[in-house]
Structure 1
């Protein structure tokens, strides 16, 4: 299971207004236990694009990266981790800097 250590959130500008709703980009520094298959020496962070349309919010996309070199980590989260991530983003997107 992952644990979020720190995060930033920014509202993503849509200059053309093509897409409905608002987009937010999260960068989440996570802690992963050494015995977890996601574990990488030096740590990982997750980049999340979260969409809010009216009262509904949803993860559009997420990617994991190694902290030390920003290298893409080709792994996926488990369903319960994705749900935790979506809940976290839903609770914190209002903190976004514009």
Structure 2
């Protein structure tokens, strides 16, 4: 199970008005147990895009990176981990405004 240890959030500007609603980019520092297949000594972070449109809110995309190398890892979060990330984004997206 992952633990979010730090984060930053920014509102994603859409100067051309292509996207409906608002988008927020999260950079989430995460900690995973050593026995997890995601584990790396260099540390990890998740780049997540969260969408807010009227009453509909959702995690649109997420990517996992190794901190020190900025290497994109070819892993997906498990459903329960994605739910943790989505819940965290829901609680904190307003901090970007």
Hey, what does 2:27 align to over in structure 1? 27
Q: Deviations over 1:22-63 (max 9, x none)?
A: 000000000011011110111100000110001221011100
How far, CA to CA, are the matches of 2:85 and 2:59 in structure 1?
A: 8
CA RMSD of aligned residues (A): 0.8
Give the unaligned 5+ runs of structure 2: none
How far, CA to CA, are the matches of 1:84 and 1:16 in structure 2?
A: 32
Hey, what does 1:43 align to over in structure 2? 43
Q: Which runs of 4+ in 1 moved over 4 A?
A: none
Hey, what does 2:82 align to over in structure 1? 82
Query: How many positions carry a matched residue from both structures?
Result: 97
